[in-house]
């Protein structure tokens, strides 16, 4: 973890890691010396500019070994920004901003399927995403709902998305075009 | 206050004009230098006598070998399979204003298996030095040139270890991002460590020789003028010249060997010369590690890049090893914009950034506090941290 505040945090990871984070993924970070775990949704992934790679692109007939070196060995940092949407304290999941941000150099983990199902059982976190100024919120909501839906058994997905749609309809009653844009993309068959 | 760039603009303009005029001046001296190089023939008894006399006067020129001094050699074919290895090192010097006295040497290495489409093997090894005998080898704080020399030995040892493993699979070229003549400052007599370090360095070179790998030190943008000193010596008519006459470059003043050999075509190398430095002809020669050098154009027709390549005599004497240094460096430079790719990567693996240095300081501070010792930086260092982090200027 590189930096944080109450509304979110940014962490770094290496490009060759097998589990490259995805936009809309749910992740968690420890806070308050392990008393709580902050739950967040990835809203931006930045791969920093690399002058070395730039000049290699211009090289003719680049052998595969050089490409492998760049992809597997080089520590090209990618910065991943996360929007905090809730936290867990003991066995309780709370949807809302955490009392404290995570501390730098803490390790960030991807949420397990059970974590995702438990956290998205209620839909209050959707309001936090909608109020965020960080990102195209409709894109983030679609991606997050797809992850949360995909974590559930097939037979539960339709009900989950219908409940999410109802909550969005309530929250976006004054912005029907945005609501329409989101609902079109969270069809049950996704 | 910081640097007020607006106050520098006039000086910068004048500097630009001066540099342009100096550059034209220097270029005008090049044709004569090249003409003299063409005139020198091998086995010239007069030049040989002059070289002998010059060596007795601690001359630091270039001694010709069996290759004609103006010869040019095209890039040989690269072996279909070879191991190209590079190691580099970086250091954190002891800081008397820091939280504790220590220094760090970090070596990075890369093994590039040419001919196999697989990712190279990379590694780095950090080593912290904090014991009294490390920090105060002569009852005084270790000077920076000794830290550098220890770093150079660490790089060479890393290469020796890798060579032992890699030579079993293919011809192996080891590369360093500097010359092979270890720089040991003024080598003042009070630093007996200089001798110990040089012996250790030369022993490691011998270890590499025994592995059958070859080694080359690569110097980018060399400022040396060893070959020009040879030209100067050739020009001197007075057979009883003294030190003053050979100390200067005469008509070749401010030229460099790099300029002299800038006519090399892409991939071509110059003849091989022996570095006549007293250090080389002293301990290096006596231990069978005499250092020789050549220049190579590792760039393109549009953007020539003249590198100075230093090799031990045992590499120069084995045609296959010599060819591998030449072809290996040119091939690697194709993907490093004129500088060997593996050297760029080994530097990247070795370098200690300011951020990493800050993290190391935090780790050291934590360890000290856990052991009940206070970890504070000096007042001066603290003041610098306050003022350097964000320069602000109000009023004025």
- Give the model confidence (pLDDT) of A59-89 as tens digits: 778 888 998 898 888 866 788 899 999 998 8
The mean-pLDDT minimum among A91-105, A114-128, B40-54 falls in: A91-105
Per-residue pLDDT at B142 exceeds 80: yes
Interatomic CA distance for residues B180 and B198, integer angstroms: 11
Q: Name the percent of chain B lying above pLDDT 90.
A: 71
Q: Which pLDDT belongs to residue B189?
A: 52
Measured between CA atoms, how close is B129 to chain A, in angstroms? 26
Judging contacts by C-beta atoms under 8 Å, the chain A residues touching residue B334 are 59
Number of neighbours of residue B190 by Cβ within 10 angstroms: 8
pLDDT at residue A11, as a whole number: 82
Nearest CA in chain B to A68: B119
Residues B242 and B372 in one domain: no
* The pLDDT of residue B396: 41
Helices marked H in chain A? 51-57, 64-68, 113-119, 125-130, 137-150, 154-171, 176-185
Mean per-residue pLDDT, B250-264: 94
Residue B27 resides in a domain: no
CB-nearest partner of B335 from A59, A71, A73? A59
**Which chain B residues are Cβ-neighbours of A74 within 8 angstroms?**
345, 348
CB contact under 8 A, B118 and A65: yes
Contact state of B114 with A65 under an 8 Å Cβ cutoff: yes
User: How much is the ipTM here?
Assistant: 0.80
> Is residue B212 situated within a structural domain?
yes
- The pLDDT score that the predictor gives to residue A171 is 94
B98 belongs to a structural domain: yes
Mean pLDDT along residues B363-376? 84
CA dist., res. B16 & res. B120, Å (int): 43
Instruction: Please write the tens of the pLDDT for every residue from B44-84.
Output: 999 999 999 999 999 999 999 999 999 999 999 999 999 99
Q: Cβ(B103)–Cβ(B93) under 8 Å?
A: yes
Reported as a pLDDT band with limits 50, 70 and 90, residue B139 is: confident
Rounded to whole angstroms, the Cα distance separating A10 from A48 reads 14
Supply the pLDDT for residue A161. Answer: 94
- Contact state of B118 with A56 under an 8 Å Cβ cutoff: no
Q: pLDDT tens digit string along A157-187?
A: 999 999 999 999 999 999 998 899 899 888 7
Residue A87 C-alpha, separation from nearest chain B C-alpha, in angstroms = 29
**Is residue B326 located within the same domain as residue B365?**
no
**What's the pLDDT at B214?**
97
Task: Judge if B333 and B221 occupy the same domain.
Answer: yes
Give me the pLDDT at residue A59, please.
Answer: 79
Most confidently modeled range among A75-84, B140-149, B163-172: B163-172
Q: Are residues B358 and B280 in the same domain?
A: no
CATH of the domain at B140: 3.30.2170
- Residue of A132, A129, A108 lying closest to A120 (CA atoms): A129
CA distance B247 to B241: 11
Q: Average model confidence (pLDDT) for chain A?
A: 86
Quick one: average pLDDT of A142-165?
A: 93
Which carries the bigger pLDDT value, residue B207 or residue A32? B207
Task: From chain A, pick out residues whose CB is under 8 angstroms from the CB of B335.
Answer: 56, 59, 62, 66
In this structure, are B141 and B290 located in the same domain? yes
Query: From CA A85, how far away is CA B172, in angstroms rounded?
Result: 55
Q: Are residues B106 and B224 in the same domain?
A: yes
**Burial of B165 per CB tally in 10 Å (0-12, 13-18, 19+):** middle
Identify whether residues B310 and B369 lie together within a single domain.
no
Q: Do A66 and B122 touch (CB under 8 A)?
A: no
- For the cut 80, the answer to whether the pLDDT of residue B291 exceeds it is yes
Residue B51 lies in a domain: no
Considering only residues A156 and B390, tell me which one the structure prediction assigns the higher pLDDT: A156
pLDDT of amino acid B80? 96
- Domain hosting residue B377, numbered range: 354-389
- pLDDT at residue number B8: 92
Q: Looking at the predicted structure, is the pLDDT value of residue B26 above 50?
A: yes
Judged by average pLDDT, the poorest of A126-135, B107-116, B259-268, B283-292 is A126-135
Q: Domain extents for chain A? A: 3-185
Is A50 in CB contact (< 8 Å) with chain B?
no
Query: pLDDT over 70 for what percent of chain B?
Result: 95
Once rounded to an integer, what is the mean pLDDT over residues B236-264? 92
pLDDT band at B208 (very low <50, low <70, confident <90, very high): very high
Is B393's pLDDT higher than 70?
Answer: no
Angstrom distance (rounded) from CA B362 to CA B160: 33
Q: Is residue B53 part of a domain?
A: no
**Does residue B162 lie within any of the structural domains?**
yes
Average pLDDT over chain B reads: 91
Residues 6+ apart with CB under 8 A from A168: A126, A141, A179, A182, A183
Question: How many domains are there within chain B?
Answer: 2
CB nearest to B119's CB, from A55, A59, A65: A65
Q: Mean of the pLDDT values across residues B250-273? A: 96
Same domain, B281 and B202: yes
State whether B145 and B241 are in the same domain.
yes
Chain A nearest C-alpha distance from B15 (Å): 29
Taking CA atoms, what residue in A is nearest to B109?
A73
Q: CB–CB of A113/A153 below 8 Å?
A: no
Specify the pLDDT at position B96.
84
Q: Is the pLDDT of residue B297 over 60?
A: yes
pLDDT for B272 = 98
């Amino acid at each position: 973890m590189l930096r944080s505040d109450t509304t979110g945090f940014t962490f770094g990871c290496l490009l060759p890691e097998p589990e490259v984070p995805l936009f809309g993924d749910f992740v968690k970070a420890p806070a308050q010396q392990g008393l709580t775990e902050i739950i967040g949704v990835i809203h931006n992934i930045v791969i920093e500019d690399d002058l070395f790679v730039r000049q290699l692109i211009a090289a003719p007939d680049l052998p595969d070994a050089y490409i492998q070196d760049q992809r597997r060995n080089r520590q090209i940092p990618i910065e991943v920004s996360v929007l905090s949407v809730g936290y867990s304290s003991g066995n309780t999941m709370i949807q809302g901003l955490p009392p404290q941000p995570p501390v730098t150099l803490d390790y960030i983990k991807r949420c397990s399927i059970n974590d995702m199902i438990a956290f998205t059982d209620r839909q209050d976190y959707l309001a936090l995403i909608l109020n965020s100024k960080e990102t195209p919120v409709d894109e983030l909501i679609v991606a997050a709902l797809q992850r949360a839906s995909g974590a559930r058994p097939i037979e539960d997905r339709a009900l989950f998305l219908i409940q999410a749609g109802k909550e969005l309809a309530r929250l976006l009653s004054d912005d029907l075009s945005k609501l329409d844009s989101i609902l079109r993309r969270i069809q049950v068959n996704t | 206050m910081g640097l007020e760039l607006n106050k520098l603009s006039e000086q910068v303009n004048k500097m630009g004009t001066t540099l342009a005029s100096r550059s034209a001046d220097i270029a005008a001296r090049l044709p004569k230098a090249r003409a003299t190089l063409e005139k020198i023939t091998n086995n010239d008894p007069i030049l040989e006598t002059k070289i002998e006399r010059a060596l007795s006067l601690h001359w630091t020129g270039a001694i010709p070998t069996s290759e004609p001094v103006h010869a040019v050699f095209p890039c040989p074919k690269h072996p279909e399979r070879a191991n190209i290895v590079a190691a580099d090192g970086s250091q954190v010097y002891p800081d008397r204003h820091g939280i504790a006295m220590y220094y760090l040497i970090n070596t990075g290495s890369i093994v590039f298996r040419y001919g196999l489409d697989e990712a190279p093997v990379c590694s780095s090894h950090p080593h912290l030095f904090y014991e009294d005998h490390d920090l105060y080898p002569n009852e005084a704080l270790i000077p920076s040139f000794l830290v550098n020399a220890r770093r150079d030995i660490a790089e060479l040892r890393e290469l020796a270890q890798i060579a032992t493993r890699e030579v079993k699979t293919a011809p192996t070229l080891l590369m360093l991002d500097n010359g092979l003549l270890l720089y040991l400052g003024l080598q003042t007599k009070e630093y007996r460590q200089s001798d110990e370090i040089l012996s250790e360095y030369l022993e490691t070179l011998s270890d590499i020789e025994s592995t059958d790998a070859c080694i080359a030190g690569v110097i980018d943008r060399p400022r040396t003028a060893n070959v020009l000193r040879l030209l100067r010596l050739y020009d001197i008519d007075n057979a009883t010249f003294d030190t003053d006459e050979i100390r200067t470059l005469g008509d070749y003043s401010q030229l460099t060997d790099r300029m002299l050999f800038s006519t090399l075509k892409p991939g071509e190398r110059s003849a091989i010369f022996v570095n006549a430095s007293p250090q080389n002809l002293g301990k290096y020669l006596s231990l069978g590690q005499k250092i020789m050098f050549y220049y190579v154009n590792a760039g393109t027709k549009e953007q020539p890049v003249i590198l100075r390549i230093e090799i031990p005599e045992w590499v120069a004497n084995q045609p296959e090893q010599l060819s591998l240094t030449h072809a290996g460096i040119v091939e690697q430079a194709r993907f490093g914009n004129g500088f060997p790719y593996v050297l760029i990567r080994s530097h990247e693996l070795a370098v200690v950034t300011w951020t990493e240095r800050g993290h190391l300081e935090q780790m050291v501070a934590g360890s000290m506090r856990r052991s009940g010792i206070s970890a504070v930086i000096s007042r001066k260092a603290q003041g610098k941290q306050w003022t350097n982090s964000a320069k602000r200027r109000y009023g004025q």
